[in-house]
């Protein structure tokens, strides 16, 4: 009998532990009734360059699709590096997917949201090819265009031109009105934006029709994991291309003329604007956050989130462990709750205890003035 009692005790302890573990997991929900949210998608290049990783990206976007109503998602923002290489037709040590396949995977993943929620797919350095003079080109416009998602087309109010002089969504703005009584302009500018693009964005922000809007700016290279604006010359790779021992050869990095870094984007665009109050970026692995006052004395919140090195790294990993950022805009019109969640870990009871990042760099609160 004594042994039976011990067995029952152990079973009760085990059940209690299981119940406790299950109670510890909470599926993402809005903290307050009347809130709405933005989903931030970090760099996806390491998902699309390997066929084995692409299902994780598909799962992430399927989760977003499934939670549009429950989280009252009004906008999804990808912060660039949609592909690993914009000019690859061979396979090598750094991915088994060609450029065509990578762009198709990125477009397919975002395509789950087509007709259901507007989204921004910002461009990163990996989304461009350059020549020896540093002039850029991209296949972006083939896979991300206004007609792809009619909600993007519906809310699109401004756009500029790419380096080839073509109107694309690389530099564009979307207007969403009356979100808890506040009008918003969601704007994106290309990786290393040219002076002409920053001039365009500055003029758009200053238009009388957006004077009282709150502008959310998405760009790729802006903030570091040390919470500093990025600096230095903007350069990118020119591929030779010779495949030596399964490695595509690269020429020395080439400077991109007229391109601006994070310090310059702040000085030329964000600081002078009275209504850019939130900047989202990727590019550098990790998390970053800082606030500064613009010339009107208003607080500008600036956030980096890039998970591409998580989940095992660039070449041997799973692409980024499925991490997303949930930004909940509370009904007071000022408070934003920032949370970091992985639908990949959240999909299984055996890994749900890993589905939230709870440290101060990944869960915090912002307040607009």
- With contact defined as beta carbons under 8 Å apart, do 347 and 125 qualify? no
Nearest 10 degrees: CA dihedral of 198, 165, 129, 97? 110
Task: Check residue 364 and give its pLDDT.
Answer: 98
Task: Check residue 312 and give its pLDDT.
Answer: 87
Task: Check residue 7 and give its pLDDT.
Answer: 46
Cα atoms in the 13 Å half-sphere on the side-chain side of 285 = 12
Domains of the chain with bracketed CATH = 39-367 (3.60.21.10)
* Backbone region of residue 80 per phi and psi (left: phi > 0; alpha: psi in -120 to 50; beta: other values): left
Q: Of the candidates 28, 82, 88, 38, which has an alpha carbon nearest to the alpha carbon of residue 57? A: 82
Q: Of the candidates 219, 112, 134, 116, which has an alpha carbon nearest to the alpha carbon of residue 170? A: 219
Alpha carbon 146 to chain centroid, angstroms: 19
* Backbone region of residue 203 per phi and psi (left: phi > 0; alpha: psi in -120 to 50; beta: other values): alpha
CB atoms within 10 A of CB 236: 19
Cα separation, 287 vs 284, in Å, equals: 8
Task: Check residue 8 and give its pLDDT.
Answer: 54
Task: Check residue 4 and give its pLDDT.
Answer: 52
| pLDDT per 10-residue tile (average), the chain, 369 residues | 51 46 78 97 98 98 98 98 94 91 98 98 97 95 97 98 96 98 98 98 98 98 98 92 85 92 98 98 97 97 96 89 98 98 97 97 97
Q: Of the candidates 103, 100, 75, 23, which has an alpha carbon nearest to the alpha carbon of residue 326? A: 75
User: Please, which residues have CB within 8 angstroms of residue 253's CB and are 6 or more apart in sequence?
Assistant: 235, 236, 237
């Amino acid at each position: 009998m004594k042994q039976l009692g011990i067995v029952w005790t152990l079973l009760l302890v085990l059940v209690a532990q299981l119940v406790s573990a299950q109670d510890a997991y909470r599926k993402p929900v809005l903290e307050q009734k009347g809130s709405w949210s933005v989903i931030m998608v970090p760099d996806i290049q390491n998902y699309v360059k390997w066929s084995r990783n692409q299902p994780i990206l598909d799962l992430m976007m399927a989760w977003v699709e499934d939670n549009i109503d429950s989280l009252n998602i009004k906008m999804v923002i990808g912060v660039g590096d949609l592909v690993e290489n914009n000019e690859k037709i061979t396979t090598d040590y750094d991915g088994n997917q060609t450029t065509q396949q990578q762009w198709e995977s990125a477009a397919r993943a975002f395509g789950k949201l087509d007709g259901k929620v507007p989204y921004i797919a910002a461009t990163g350095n990996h989304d461009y090819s350059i020549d020896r003079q540093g002039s850029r080109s991209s296949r972006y416009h083939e896979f991300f265009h206004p007609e792809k998602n009619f909600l993007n087309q519906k809310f699109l109010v401004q756009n500029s031109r790419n380096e080839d002089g073509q109107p694309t969504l690389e530099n564009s703005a979307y207007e969403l009105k009356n979100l808890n009584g506040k009008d918003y302009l969601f704007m994106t500018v290309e990786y290393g934006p040219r002076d002409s693009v920053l001039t365009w964005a500055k003029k758009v922000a200053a238009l009388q029709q957006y004077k009282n809007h709150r502008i959310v700016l998405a760009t790729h290279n802006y903030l570091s994991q040390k919470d500093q604006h990025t600096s230095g010359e903007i350069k990118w790779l020119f591929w030779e291309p010779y495949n030596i021992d399964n490695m595509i050869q690269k020429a020395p990095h080439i400077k991109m003329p007229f391109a601006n870094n994070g310090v310059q984007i702040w000085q030329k665009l964000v600081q002078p604007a009275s209504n850019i109050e939130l900047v989202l970026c990727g590019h550098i692995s990790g998390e970053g956050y800082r606030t500064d006052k613009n010339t009107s004395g208003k607080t500008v919140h600036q956030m980096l989130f890039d998970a591409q090195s998580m989940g095992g790294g660039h070449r041997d990993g799973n692409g980024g462990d499925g991490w997303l950022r949930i930004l909940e805009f509370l009904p007071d019109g000022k408070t934003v709750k920032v949370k970091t969640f992985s639908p990949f870990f959240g999909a299984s009871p055996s890994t749900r205890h890993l589905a939230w990042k709870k440290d101060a760099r990944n869960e915090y609160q912002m307040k607009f003035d």
